[in-house]
Amino acid sequence: MTEQDILSVLKNITNPQNHKDIVESGIVDRVAITQNGVEVYLKINHAVKPLQNSFRKAIRQVIQNQLNPEINVETYVEEDTPQPVEKTVPLKDVKNIIAVSSGKGGVGKSTVTANLAAALAKQGYNVGLIDADVFGPSIPKMFGVEDEHPGVRQEGEKSWIVPVEKYGVKILSMGFFVDPESPVIWRGPMASNMLNQIINDGDWGALDYLLFDLPPGTSDIHLTVVQNITLKGAIIVSTPQQVAIADVVKGINMFRNDKINIPILGIVENMAWFTPAELPNNKYYIFGKEGNKAVSEKYGIDIIAQVPLVQSICESGDNGRPAVLDGNSIQAQYFESLAQNVIKKCK
Ligand SMILES: Nc1ncnc2c1ncn2[C@@H]1O[C@H](COP(=O)(O)OP(=O)(O)OP(=O)(O)O)[C@@H](O)[C@H]1O
Ligand SMILES: [Mg+2]
């Protein structure tokens, strides 16, 4: 292993402030190989200061994962004035924190979260959205902000990460911080650390609703969210298809687990039927009809929305403008009624 090898694996870590890697951005000053292992010297300016711990952890992980699992890695930061860690209650000015999850991937969790956030903001609520899906962050694309960067606000010694704002929704996505093309093997562990920073150092201000778009299934990310903050409840998104519903039950069991104990606000049945644009009154139950009804009854969880499969919902996601913003369209009404039900459940 040479210093050059180390520098080339460090190029897998991205500086979210300019989307360049940390070597090219000058965050890595130099590296050295010593008898004790690898030493990495960092130059941290105030713009990337909130991310410094994530960088240090990521650096250790990429070197160990990609070069030598046994090697000791030390990181040193110039001008590293140790700060007393203030213990603040995370997200204390947020009234309702809601996790949106699904057992299976691709059932429309991000679409539902994006539209719910936009619907709540449209009604005048202060809304935040955390895209915690490190394996497939899609919120930036759905809001058309994939090229934007979160800002930094300095308050004395403390640096706050300023969310990107669009359609009245304050957004922070793992996609802003983690290069989607880097290997999953170290993205995973780095993700929980990064998510904690988004939660603790995000400049959210006072919010009525903060939504989390979680990755599918269960993961470290779920644990980070459920253990560190007080959730008002969870929403489970599913299609009516039987294979999706089997996973809904796993999701219910996770949230209702003794140690976690988070209320489930409801199930959103997405792709509940298909309606072609030219035959707006026709409903085709291509994934089965009311597939979630039995689960809803068995576990006493309301179905708080049924959203049809409509071409314009898919297109609006790709175009960076949630469908609910399109005035009086039929698809807008489904998400508006979801928002009403969520507001009721949070009272
Ligand atoms: N009701 C709908 N009508 C039409 N297309 C939809 C609908 N819901 C979701 N889609 C489309 O289906 C695809 C998957 O949706 P989405 O990305 O929201 O799912 P997800 O559950 O977040 O997926 P992942 O598990 O990958 O995060 C997207 O292309 C989206 O535009
Ligand atoms: Mg998603």
Nearest CA to ligand 1 atom 12: 108
On whether residue 88 sits in a domain, the answer given is no
Residues 166, 241 within the same domain: yes
Backbone CA torsion sign across 15, 19, 21, 25:
negative
For the full predicted model, state whether its pTM sits above 0.85. Answer: no
On whether residue 12 sits in a domain, the answer given is yes
Last residue of a domain, one of 78, 103, 127: 78
- CATH code of the domain in which 127 resides: 3.40.50.300
Contacts of 129 (CB under 8 A, 6+ apart): 113, 114, 117, 139, 169, 170, 171, 172, 210, 211, 213
Dist CA 333 CA 326 (whole Å)? 10
The pLDDT score that the predictor gives to residue 220 is 81
Mutate to test the pocket of ligand 1, among 133, 222, 314, 324 (most ligand atoms within 8 A of CB): 314
- CATH code of the domain in which 71 resides: 3.30.300.130
Residues 22, 169 within the same domain: no
pLDDT bin (cut points 50, 70, 90) of residue 251 is very high
Report the pLDDT averaged over residues 142-147: 94
User: Per residue in 264-287, pLDDT tens?
Assistant: 999 999 999 998 888 888 999 999
Residues 103, 66 within the same domain: no
**Better-scored residue on pLDDT, 15 or 272:** 272
Extract the tokens encoding 220: 């470290």
- Taking CA atoms, 77 is separated from 177, 193, 293, 301, in Å, by 20, 18, 56, 50
**Better-scored residue on pLDDT, 304 or 158:** 304
The response to whether residue 236 sits with its C-beta less than 6 Å from ligand 1 reads no
Residues 296, 338 within the same domain: yes
User: Per residue in 293-345, pLDDT tens?
Assistant: 999 999 999 999 999 999 999 999 999 999 999 987 888 999 999 999 999 99
The response to whether residue 270 sits with its C-beta less than 6 Å from ligand 1 reads yes
Ligand 1 atom with least separation from CA of 314:
31
Distance, CA 329 to ligand 2 centroid (Å)?
24
On whether residue 89 sits in a domain, the answer given is no
Residues 9, 98 within the same domain: no
Residues 71, 122 within the same domain: no
Residue 193: give the domain boundaries.
94-346
The pLDDT score that the predictor gives to residue 166 is 98
On whether residue 197 sits in a domain, the answer given is yes
Dist CA 192 CA 225 (whole Å)? 9
pLDDT bin (cut points 50, 70, 90) of residue 73 is very high
The DSSP output letter for 279 is -
* Statement: residue 174 has pLDDT above 70: yes
Residues 125, 28 within the same domain: no
Residues 208, 167 within the same domain: yes
pLDDT bin (cut points 50, 70, 90) of residue 188 is low
Dist CA 345 CA 261 (whole Å)? 17
pLDDT bin (cut points 50, 70, 90) of residue 186 is low
**Least confident span in 76-80, 191-195, 196-200:** 76-80
Q: Are 320 and 143 in contact (CB under 8 A)?
A: yes
On whether residue 74 sits in a domain, the answer given is yes
Number of independent structural domains in the chain: 2
**Least confident span in 117-121, 171-175, 205-209:** 171-175
pLDDT bin (cut points 50, 70, 90) of residue 82 is very low
Distance, CA 298 to ligand 1 centroid (Å)?
27
Extract the tokens encoding 211: 């939504």
- Taking CA atoms, 12 is separated from 5, 23, 34, 183, in Å, by 12, 9, 23, 8
Residues 169, 273 within the same domain: yes
Dist CA 94 CA 84 (whole Å)? 25
